[in-house]
Structure 1
């Protein structure tokens, strides 16, 4: 039987699209392999949001070019945000690629692949894209240019997909979008994300719902209230701040001030007690001074997020920031700032997780890895424990015996032993 290999980098949307493509290939009879050297078809799901991510893809394509020289039958496909609307230019840049298709699209060549239909096996925790593209045009971001404007999927179509996934074994669903809380505004009857959460809350066998990534300006009062009252919606929220200084936020075209962001966080924490908040931060944005970066550190220290996803700024050709602002923060200074941010957040995360020591948490068991079961609690924290039983897909109660900044360890309680 033919084999395929997928390499994915970037956001959860890319991961979700890779999962969908895996299902398509396996339905055509292709079997997954761990290395491209053993594959008949190699697919790269690319990211252009960071220069480092783009470089990793180009490096892999160079390796695949050498593989194709020795094995001309190897087929290579490229999707994701690196794929532009100019196919001739893409082919000139990457001649080793046989198939290009845009981010979020299905490959036109799929029907030409030989093979029989095989059943797909979803993961316990899976991702479902509900809206593609973004209308915000933050000055640093390539996404609106590569994924286009916001396009929501019909509500009933999403509900039907989730029901199918649950019937096949999925127990947790994360709803995805570049701007997920803008869902529905472009549909005829204009449902919103709160409507979708209500519709999915009643799906039998679905234990947990999450959603990301959110834009602070689109966090409505109705959505916040809905999060607080639906049993299946986990008390977790990713709310990217991107910077802790108003001047930097203005140059980023984020559409809110730090005072407004702080007020929103306070409101969410009052409405959803115990919520685990995470955020994204870009360090070294053009013109960011040392005092402005200190404002970002103060924001992180004050608000005490459960996790902070930090990244150094890299100019993306075609974006406003790349064309309008000089990339004037030295690379060594960007890396220093990122290290300080990560050091601060590591300490905060360790302190937050330490409060769970000795407590019992509900864990959805996802997989068995290196002699331990791995799962997540309702706040999204990784939990590891040992058991000889097959617990995949089950909810178990774990007594936490050790904590760290990135994960928890524990033991099954008597009720689940």
Structure 2
């Protein structure tokens, strides 16, 4: 009997990817042949996991759905189902505007899709990784209780909901048994972890226990929030060698004027003190941050403060984006989007040029050092790897000649021989 086929297309963030992997595992356990992000889907069923965060992401999601509608009309696929943030937020509009879709699911009821297709209750299945086997994303919570003026995430995902510690640890143990050694810990706001179910921040305890699991080689932390930072987490980072000296913490801006209008519940002085303390208590830490330009009311002086801050902080990893108004957010309802688009772009370009130079200097400082590197893949004439300071897909990589005989997922000592703005080059230390 021919097995049914189903292809998943996962858009947006790594938190979405985890949801897709969970559902893929369920479908595979129930007799489906499952593929992910095929270039040319030709399946019985295609499921699109959408993003609804910002305008560009929403546009990409809608365009992907429309392309699949065309494929369905041409007979290349049979059914289309949509899940995720976009359909969670705009379900009624989407149902009326794209009736060719066979079913719509939101951010939280997507497991129902398997029951609806099979006509019976589903059996459980292990999460099916779409990443290389040696690393995985671990989602420790959903939702967010912060209410930043520009952000639609709380409107989509609701209040912060932590997963119990033991449930997360069990997932890590299962993945380790399957060969996973590196874990990117993700949440919309991981520093708030545990407050809703334990009455206090428990992120340090969670990471400490995760680090003690045999076989866990690296743990990397994503999406912290600067207010009420749990300082005990830095103690764990120092004491546990498999907790990477890496922190992803979105700061958004530095001027008190902007931080107040953004409803960030912090100040310039507190942010500067945070950066100083992170660097003092975890020597060598690599900080990844995200900044925003063009928020309503941003003046030339506000932007100058931001530029000066970036030059002072010298972030090892930094991304930036221009403000775009999102329906239903505080800023959309209370502020005029008054910074011209060309000014936003000019500010964004200037900020990223400064960061490019900083990044080049930081990466160049690693030349002539030797660092542990995990190998992710091969590409052209190179093996592509990462150090503890590099998260998959978003950070600089290490390129090593493919004249060596290296294994994907294994770690090697690499002598760094050269660098550019975003990548390192190295040789294996025999």
Task: Judge same fold: TM > 0.5, yes or no.
Answer: yes
Counterpart secondary structure, 2:86: coil
Instruction: Name the CA distance, whole Å, in 1 between partners of 2:48 and 2:279.
Output: 39
Q: In structure 2, do the counterparts of structure 1 residues 189 and 50 end up closer, same or farther at CA, with 3 Å as the change threshold? A: closer
TM-score, structure 1 length as denominator? 0.93
Q: In structure 2, do the counterparts of structure 1 residues 119 and 324 end up closer, same or farther at CA, with 3 Å as the change threshold? A: closer
Instruction: Name the CA distance, whole Å, in 1 between partners of 2:380 and 2:102.
Output: 37
Residue number among 282, 299, 315 corresponding to 1:305 in the alignment? 315
**Other-structure match for 1:383:** 398
**Other-structure match for 1:220:** 230
Question: 1:160 and 2:170 equivalent?
Answer: yes
Residue number among 32, 44, 50 corresponding to 2:35 in the alignment? 32
Q: In structure 2, do the counterparts of structure 1 residues 224 and 118 end up closer, same or farther at CA, with 3 Å as the change threshold? A: closer
**Other-structure match for 2:12:** 10
Q: In structure 2, do the counterparts of structure 1 residues 62 and 154 end up closer, same or farther at CA, with 3 Å as the change threshold? A: same
Instruction: Name the CA distance, whole Å, in 2 between partners of 1:231 and 1:89.
Output: 50
What's the C-alpha RMSD, in Å, of the aligned pairs?
2.2
Structure 1 residue 242 displacement after superposition: 0.3
- Check the 8 A contact 2:105/2:113 in 1, yes or no: no
Residue number among 267, 278, 295 corresponding to 2:288 in the alignment? 278
**Where do 1:123-142 residues align within 5 Å?**
123-142=133-152
Residue number among 55, 72, 78 corresponding to 1:74 in the alignment? 78
String of CA shifts for 1:248-275, please: whole Å, max 9, x gaps: 1111100101110010110011110000
**Other-structure match for 2:69:** 65
**Other-structure match for 1:242:** 252
Of the structure 1 ranges 76-85 and 179-188, higher mean CA displacement relative to structure 2 is found in 76-85
- Check the 8 A contact 2:194/2:203 in 1, yes or no: yes
Structure 1 residue 239 displacement after superposition: 1.5
**Other-structure match for 2:384:** 374
**Other-structure match for 2:159:** 149
**Other-structure match for 1:400:** 416
Instruction: Name the CA distance, whole Å, in 1 between partners of 2:21 and 2:360.
Output: 32
Q: In structure 2, do the counterparts of structure 1 residues 293 and 86 end up closer, same or farther at CA, with 3 Å as the change threshold? A: closer
- Check the 8 A contact 1:36/1:42 in 2, yes or no: no
Structure 1 residue 24 displacement after superposition: 3.2
Counterpart secondary structure, 1:30: strand
- Check the 8 A contact 1:29/1:116 in 2, yes or no: no
- Check the 8 A contact 1:278/1:308 in 2, yes or no: yes
String of CA shifts for 1:381-411, please: whole Å, max 9, x gaps: 4212134434122111111122122221211
Q: In structure 2, do the counterparts of structure 1 residues 268 and 402 end up closer, same or farther at CA, with 3 Å as the change threshold? A: same
Structure 1 residue 40 displacement after superposition: 2.7
Structure 1 residue 4 displacement after superposition: 3.3
Structure 1 residue 369 displacement after superposition: 2.8
String of CA shifts for 1:4-59, please: whole Å, max 9, x gaps: 33333322212332333333343343231622442332222222221111111111
Q: Which runs of 5+ in 2 are unaligned?
A: 391-395
Structure 1 residue 103 displacement after superposition: 2.3
String of CA shifts for 1:56-96, please: whole Å, max 9, x gaps: 11112222222222228622222222123674443113323
**Other-structure match for 1:92:** 96
Q: In structure 2, do the counterparts of structure 1 residues 268 and 335 end up closer, same or farther at CA, with 3 Å as the change threshold? A: same
Structure 1 residue 230 displacement after superposition: 1.5
Instruction: Name the CA distance, whole Å, in 1 between partners of 2:33 and 2:91.
Output: 27
- Check the 8 A contact 1:29/1:118 in 2, yes or no: no
Residue number among 160, 169, 178 corresponding to 2:179 in the alignment? 169
